[in-house]
Structure 1
Amino acid sequence: MNVIKMSKLTKARYLSSVLSLMIIISSIGIIFSNGFNWGLDFTGGVVTEVRLDSHIKATELSELLAQHSEQEVSVISAGESGRWVLRYSQVDAKSSTDIVSVLAPLSGNVEVLNSSIVGPQIGQELAEQGGLALLVAMLCVLGYLSFRFEWRLASGALLALFHDVVFVLAFFSLMQMEFNLTILAAVLAILGYSLNDSIVIADRIRELLIAKPKMAVDEVCSAAVKATFSRTMVTSGTTLITVAALWGMGGVPLEGFSIAMFLGIMIGTISSISVGTCLPELLKVKAEHYQLAPISQTP
């Protein structure tokens, strides 16, 4: 009975790894074909904070601004009644005086608290630094895992990280949701979370290879997944509940971050089990790779 269950688990791992490979290929295609809807953090634009009458709602403000602007204006509550943050493209930007005149029909008391401009040069630097941060993070992860677990297990964990990041980026590319610094922070957080799952499973695989060197590699990987499955589900489940609460109660400013984290946690759990275990098996990881070499006693 145990053998049959292990065999089914192995088939499930193989099937999920094929699905993960299809996800990687399709995600890369979506990113290259659709591109990203870059936020003002990357493209440059204007951020204006205004104070209006407290009874005005966000929908009313958005509808009025849409009538006077060809581009979408982001309306975010500043946390205080009647206080709003308006974000719009610099190409379509209005001066403080224009904003006052545009909002005058909606509120008799329009006060511009502050207005700042993010230049496109700054946005380009942010995009370059963000991409560099992702690259450096993955290289550091590769170096640590290669030292800690040997390169075969390290390659599985690294491909799982790449799989998770590409999937989340492809989602935002497909849906054309605004990609800003908050989303970039979520992607970097996903790297750390997915790496945690992959390390736990890789460590269990290494322990089993050392303890049972004659056991088949596919059975070792399946046994490692089975041994860590309950821990993975509890960790992922509790984190998903927290992120879901943040998604539901955090409002518009945290919506993109919450969506990215929610998707990253779900796909990260799958990739750690599929990609993280199947690739080392494909690369012929063996118990010999973790056996201690005997020390010669001759002087």
Structure 2
Amino acid sequence: MKLSFSNSWRYACSGISVVLMVLSIAIIGWKGLNLGLDFTGGVVSEIRIDKQISATEMRPLLQQAYGSDVSLIAADEPGRWVLRYPAAAGDTTPPSLAQILSPLNTSLEVLNTSIVGPQVGAELAEQGALALLVAVICILGYLSFRFEWRLASGALFALVHDVIFVIAFFALTQMEFNLTVLAAVLAILGYSLNDSIIIADRIRELLIAKPQTPVAEVNNAAIVATFSRTMVTSGTTLMTVAALWLMGGEPLQGFSIAMFIGILTGTFSSISVGTSLPEWLGLTSEHYRPKALPETP
């Protein structure tokens, strides 16, 4: 059975992408991000406790004392944990970890404690935003060099669409946005760019090989030619990320969720927006036709 792709489906998917992007921007502005301790500052403590005690037993006690922004990370050694929780506001003195975990009736040893101040958190947020900006600028420069600007604009818009959608999901759910999630956003940029470049490169080849073919048909043919490769790549990557999500535990949950959403939206936007926007901007085979050299020197 031969795979086919119609203009109506592609245009409808592009319209859905634009609507979702507008809604995502509105959600980000309305809800804002629930920044983690990496950006807001807090306390990091390493403790040693009875190895029979699990995270599900400690978490309710810690959340009752410090609120919901508490992270428990198991260290390599059994019974050793890294706790991350907000610093006390004002002059209030919070109860010690031994007092908070006393209902567990176990011995507790605090190995070390460090404080991440708000100034350090603000610096991390600034550096993270700068890293995201530099990555986008570098990608823009590469696309402008590799493709004609109309074709490059589709790939760039698809990248922006994917990043905004992932950030909007974290704003809507108020899941913690920390450095691992930011790393996932940067990884999504690279993954989505790969999909967009594969399709854009095929469009360019077809425009050169079949200059008389309408651009809409060229876009559909490029999607069909790369569809199986895109599905296999996205499917295997989603399986890996899903395994990381299910078995990686709480420390990797935000990273894996962001990657999972980014891969889905990246595949969708590369097929829809990445091909439709250049067509709407007037891309034709003339833009890739070799220019004749002047006869006079």
Aligned residue number for residue 200 of structure 1: 198
Letter in 1 for 2:166: V
Aligned residue number for residue 88 of structure 1: 85
1:260-279 equivalence runs, <5 A: 260-279=258-277
User: Which one of 76, 81, 88 corresponds to residue 73 of structure 2?
Assistant: 76
Aligned residue number for residue 133 of structure 1: 131
Residue-by-residue CA offset, 1:67-109 (whole Å, 9 max, x unaligned): 4334542222224321111111113599898122322342432
Q: CA deviation at 1:19?
A: 0.3
> Is 1:144 aligned to residue 142 of structure 2?
yes
Residue-by-residue CA offset, 1:189-236 (whole Å, 9 max, x unaligned): 000000000000000000000000010000001100010000000110
1:218-229 equivalence runs, <5 A: 218-229=216-227
User: Which one of 22, 25, 31 corresponds to residue 22 of structure 2?
Assistant: 25
1:1-299 equivalence runs, <5 A: 6=4, 8-91=5-88, 98-299=96-297
Q: Distance in 2 between matches of 1:150 and 1:66?
A: 54
- Secondary structure of the 1:56 match is coil
Q: Distance in 2 between matches of 1:69 and 1:122?
A: 21
Q: Label 1:27 to 1:85 Cα distance change in 2 as closer, same or farther (>3 A).
A: same
- Secondary structure of the 2:229 match is helix
Q: CA deviation at 1:248?
A: 1.0
Q: Label 1:215 to 1:277 Cα distance change in 2 as closer, same or farther (>3 A).
A: same
**Higher mean C-alpha deviation, range 131-140 or range 262-271:** 131-140
**Higher mean C-alpha deviation, range 207-216 or range 105-114:** 105-114
Q: Distance in 1 between matches of 2:88 and 2:185?
A: 29
Contact preservation (8 Å) 2:196, 2:270: yes
Q: Give unmatched runs, 5+ long, in structure 2.
A: none
Compute the TM-score of the two structures, normalised by the length of structure 2.
0.94
- Secondary structure of the 1:293 match is coil
Q: CA deviation at 1:163?
A: 0.2
**Higher mean C-alpha deviation, range 202-211 or range 288-297:** 288-297
- Secondary structure of the 1:285 match is coil
- Secondary structure of the 1:292 match is coil
Contact preservation (8 Å) 1:70, 1:92: no
Letter in 2 for 1:192: G
Contact preservation (8 Å) 1:71, 1:92: no
Q: Distance in 1 between matches of 2:273 and 2:176?
A: 29
Q: Distance in 1 between matches of 2:13 and 2:241?
A: 25
Letter in 1 for 2:215: V
**Higher mean C-alpha deviation, range 286-295 or range 257-266:** 286-295
Q: CA deviation at 1:297?
A: 3.9
Letter in 2 for 1:290: Y
How many pairs are equivalent?
296
% identity of equivalent residues: 64
Compute the TM-score of the two structures, normalised by the length of structure 1.
0.94
RMSD between aligned alpha carbons?
Answer: 2.0
Q: Give unmatched runs, 5+ long, in structure 1.
A: none
